[in-house]
Amino acid sequence: MANSDFFEKVYAIVARIPEGKVTSYGAIAKAIGSAKSSRTVGYAMNACVKLDRDLPAHRVVNRNGVLTGKHHFPGQDTMRKLLEEEGLNIENDQIKNFKFYFWEPPINQ
DNA sequence: GACTTGACAATCC
DNA sequence: AGGATTGCCAAGT
């Protein structure tokens, strides 16, 4: 408990997101065990940037597949660019075929 | 130390 | 169908 277990779990899952795949805050929260703490997941992402973590936060979007947090990246189009580089198609800040690219985090960890 | 905010999501009118 | 409310957890004010 040096750091909140919540954050650690979030980071552990985000770090395991395969390249070219995406997941949602809610899915991560659910995998952790607190499906309703999706807000905190987002907060963890914001914190992860400040902590200089090497997490693919750009692979985490809201449940609609919308790049809600793109504004938090260094450059408003950084998130979209990163995702496109991984083979995803973004339209109007929303991931196309989101369902197809969706990656379900490991529930038991 | 209490209140507000925040990269969300599910539920209730 | 869509706006409003609640839940959850951490950090900032």
Domain ranges of chain A: 5-101
CB atoms < 10 A from the CB of A93, how many? 16
Mean predicted confidence (pLDDT) in A22-29:
96
Q: How far is the CA of A8 from the C1' of B11 (A)?
A: 29
A63 pLDDT more than 50: yes
Mean predicted confidence (pLDDT) in A14-38:
95
The domain made up of A5-101 has a fold known as Arc Repressor Mutant, subunit A (1.10.10)
Query: What local confidence, expressed as pLDDT, does residue A51 receive?
Result: 87
Q: How far is the CA of A25 from the C1' of C7 (A)?
A: 15
Question: Contact at 8 Å (CB) between A48 and A11?
Answer: yes
A60 pLDDT more than 50: yes
Mean predicted confidence (pLDDT) in A69-77:
91
Which helix H or strand E contains A85, and what residues bound it?
Answer: helix A78-85
Q: What is chain A's alpha carbon radius of gyration, rounded to the nearest angstrom?
A: 13
Q: Is the CB of A62 under 7 A from strand B?
A: yes
Mean predicted confidence (pLDDT) in A35-62:
92
Tokens of A25: 């805050």
